[in-house]
Structure 1
Amino acid sequence: MQIYKVGGAVRDRLLGKPVTDIDWVVVGATTKEMLAKGFRPVGADFPVFLHPKSGEEYALARTERKSGRGYGGFTFHASPEVTLEEDLIRRDLTINAMAEDDQQNLTDPYHGQRDLEARLLRHVSPAFAEDPLRVLRVARFAARYAALGFTVAPETLELMRQLSESGELEALTAERSWKEISRALMEDQPRVFIEVLRDCGALKVLMPEVDALFGVPQPEAHHPEIDTGAHTLSVLEQAARHKQPLTVRWACLLHDLGKGLTPEEEWPRHIAHEHKGLKLIKAVNERFKAPKDCQELALLVGKYHTHGHRALELKPSTLLELLQSFDVYRRPQRFEEFIAACEMDARGRKGLEQRSYPQAEYLRGAANAARTVAVQPLLEKGFKGPELGEAIKRERLKALKAYKEKA
């Protein structure tokens, strides 16, 4: 029995990056031997075990063969005869197909170290094209390591293009796709993830609503970058730069989908794009089964982001309607995330990345003004039921009028 550290732990050590998760592969062992040493089995599809003390995952060396469509369409074979090299060749990228023993002696049959030095994301073998999830994974690694100068090898991009055209991407489950998308959006350069997907044709398969934004012009006075797709990437870039949470980044990606529906004869104007985009945002949310908080914020930002930009001009009644839509009294955090998404949208424009956004403080002040309305005095006056609701609304409107006059 020989045990090796494999994959990301080896890659990140060689890059000088912190190692968080460690994967181990065991060569020359049987399930019976692992159980005898106290390892606990966890893998339903193939033999994976938890270490009796550390809890880390140890997998028996295995080979795989394509047997169906999609990410799960494989049959695995694990036995003591499977070599380390055979196990490593089934991995996605050369930089993830290295192993080291307990003395840090490197096993690198597919030249991962050379590709690390060349800053290349290159597939290990033609079997790469058998797993559609790898298109998303490579795009995610491109986003993660873009700051280090990594790019996708042309021949790997070509395989990703073939996968995108094959129909295999449609076999991916919503859960697996969302896991990769959400992780990629939380990288330091999530725009690279979208760019790589677009370069290989996967974006128009997975998110045709986002792909449709590229080449759609906007008024230059408000959008010096002109192209709606380029603007969306810049907004996403700002969200990453400002360390926004996943909810905000997802909303930033989807906020302008309605502009993709504008007839060419109406370009560069996009009248009512906010409302037109809601059905598209809903479709993307459902396609990937995004978490509820991501879905809700994306729809609200899509509908109201121009309200955010015009906050200082809004009538008190419109401002109150906005606050009610976000339920700022019970869910203040969601309104904060809306403000953040609006600010990222305002900054995601060529040459305007450092612009101030006074609307943010104004909206926070408005929310606080509305929240200060006390319910108890209204109850003491005898208001109840629907009448109480109307009375609260009147008092909040009064508070917002006073706030607007002072501001």
Structure 2
Amino acid sequence: MQIFKVGGAVRDRLLGKPVTDIDWVVVGATTQEMLAKGYRPVGADFPVFLHPKSGEEYALARTERKSGRGYGGFTFHASPEVTLEEDLIRRDLTINAMAEDDQQNLTDPYDGQRDLEARILRHVSPAFAEDPLRVLRVARFAARYAGLGFTVAPETLELMRQLSESGELEALTAERSWKEISRALMEDQPQVFIQVLRDCGALKVLMPEVDALFGVPQPEAHHPEIDTGLHTLSVLEQSALHKQPLTVRWACLLHDLGKGLTPEEQWPRHIAHEHTGLKLIKAVNERFKAPKDCQELALLVGKYHTHGHRALELKASTLLELLQSFDVYRRPQRFEEFIAACEMDARGRKGLEQRSYPQADYLRGAAKAAREVAVQPLLEKGFKGPELGEALKRERLKALKAYKENA
């Protein structure tokens, strides 16, 4: 019985990055031996055990064979005869197919260390093309390590392209896809994730609404980068640079989907794209079963982001409608995230990344003015029910008019 540290823990140690999750593989052991040593079984599909003291996961070395469609279409075989090399060959990338013993002696049968040094994301074996989830995983690793100079090997990109064209991506569950997408959006360079998916044809399959934005022009006066797809990538890049949460990053990705529906004869203008895009944002939200807070913010940002940009020009009544739509009285954080998404949109334009966004503080001030309208005096005047709501609205409108005059 031999125990090896494998995968990401080995990769990140060699890269000099902090090691968080550790995966262990046990070679030459049976389930009975693991149980006898106090390990607790947790794996339903294949033998995985929790260490009796540390609680870390230890998996028996195993092989796998394609037996159906999609991420779950595999049969696994674990036995004491399975070698470490056989276990490692079923992994996705060479940089994830290394192992080390307790003395940090490296086992690297597929040249992962060489690819690590060359900054290449390369598949381990042709079996890579059997698992559609690997398309998303490789794109996510590309986003994570882009800052270190990593790129996807051309032959791996070709296999990803074949997978994208095979229909296998459609077999992925919403839950598995969202797990990879949400993790990728929180990487340092999430725009690389979208770009790699586009390069291999997967974006067209998974998010045709986003893919349709590439090649669609916008007015150069407002968008020096012109291309709507490139603008979307830039907005996503800004959201990562400014450490925005997942809700904001998701909204940034989807905010301009309506521009993909603009008839060519109307280019580069996109009249009412905020409204035409809502059905597309809703469709993407539902396809991946995005969490409720991500869904809500994406729809609100899609509908109102141009209001955010024109905040200083909005009438007091329009400002009030905007604040009411976000329920800023009970959910102030959601409005704060909307402001952040608008600012990322404004900065995600070629050459304008550093410009100021006075609309942000103006909108915060408007929300504060509306929130400070007290209910108690109205209750004391005898207002109740719907009448109280109307009276409160009138007072808030008055407060916003005063705010505009003094701003």
- Aligning the two structures, in what range does the TM-score lie when normalised by the shorter sequence? over 0.9
* Structure 1 length-normalised TM: 1.00
* Structure 2 length-normalised TM: 1.00
The structural deviation recorded for 1:273 is 0.0
The whole-number CA distance in structure 2 between the counterparts of 1:238 and 1:117 is 29
**RMSD between superposed Cα atoms in Å:** 0.3
The whole-number CA distance in structure 2 between the counterparts of 1:379 and 1:37 is 70
The structural deviation recorded for 1:32 is 0.6
The structural deviation recorded for 1:287 is 0.3
The whole-number CA distance in structure 2 between the counterparts of 1:39 and 1:298 is 44
2:108 equivalent in structure 1 = 108
The whole-number CA distance in structure 2 between the counterparts of 1:176 and 1:37 is 33
The structural deviation recorded for 1:181 is 0.4
1:91 equivalent in structure 2 = 91
The structural deviation recorded for 1:331 is 0.3
1:395 equivalent in structure 2 = 395
Task: Provide Cα deviations, 1:286-343, integer angstroms capped at 9, x if missing partner.
Answer: 0000000000000000000000000000000000000000000000000000000000
The structural deviation recorded for 1:227 is 0.2
The whole-number CA distance in structure 2 between the counterparts of 1:217 and 1:231 is 10
What is the 5 A alignment of 1:195-214? 195-214=195-214
The whole-number CA distance in structure 1 between the counterparts of 2:304 and 2:268 is 20
The structural deviation recorded for 1:14 is 0.4
The structural deviation recorded for 1:37 is 0.7
- For the residue of structure 1 that corresponds to 2:226, the secondary structure is coil
The structural deviation recorded for 1:87 is 0.3
The whole-number CA distance in structure 2 between the counterparts of 1:308 and 1:88 is 51
The whole-number CA distance in structure 2 between the counterparts of 1:40 and 1:322 is 54
- For the residue of structure 2 that corresponds to 1:76, the secondary structure is strand
The structural deviation recorded for 1:118 is 0.7
The structural deviation recorded for 1:359 is 0.2
The structural deviation recorded for 1:284 is 0.3
**Gapped regions of structure 1 (runs ≥ 5):** none
The structural deviation recorded for 1:219 is 0.2
What is the 5 A alignment of 1:301-380? 301-380=301-380
What is the 5 A alignment of 1:8-47? 8-47=8-47
The structural deviation recorded for 1:189 is 0.4
Task: Provide Cα deviations, 1:244-284, integer angstroms capped at 9, x if missing partner.
Answer: 00000000000000000000000000000000000000000
Task: Provide Cα deviations, 1:194-247, integer angstroms capped at 9, x if missing partner.
Answer: 000000000000000000000000000000000000000000000000000000
- For the residue of structure 2 that corresponds to 1:364, the secondary structure is helix
The whole-number CA distance in structure 1 between the counterparts of 2:151 and 2:372 is 53
Task: Provide Cα deviations, 1:73-107, integer angstroms capped at 9, x if missing partner.
Answer: 00000000000000000000000000000000000
The structural deviation recorded for 1:175 is 0.4
Task: Provide Cα deviations, 1:4-60, integer angstroms capped at 9, x if missing partner.
Answer: 000000000000000000000000001111111111111100000010110100000
Structure 1 residue ranges, 4+ long, deviating more than 4 angstroms after superposition: none
Task: Provide Cα deviations, 1:327-380, integer angstroms capped at 9, x if missing partner.
Answer: 000000000000000000000000000010000000000000000100011011
The whole-number CA distance in structure 1 between the counterparts of 2:42 and 2:326 is 43
The whole-number CA distance in structure 2 between the counterparts of 1:54 and 1:30 is 20
The structural deviation recorded for 1:157 is 0.2
The structural deviation recorded for 1:393 is 0.3
The structural deviation recorded for 1:164 is 0.1
The whole-number CA distance in structure 1 between the counterparts of 2:15 and 2:361 is 42
The whole-number CA distance in structure 1 between the counterparts of 2:364 and 2:94 is 49
Count of aligned pairs = 407
The whole-number CA distance in structure 2 between the counterparts of 1:169 and 1:234 is 26
The structural deviation recorded for 1:114 is 0.5
Identity %: 95
The whole-number CA distance in structure 2 between the counterparts of 1:53 and 1:291 is 34
**Gapped regions of structure 2 (runs ≥ 5):** none
The whole-number CA distance in structure 2 between the counterparts of 1:147 and 1:383 is 59
- For the residue of structure 2 that corresponds to 1:188, the secondary structure is coil
The structural deviation recorded for 1:165 is 0.1
The whole-number CA distance in structure 1 between the counterparts of 2:216 and 2:276 is 15
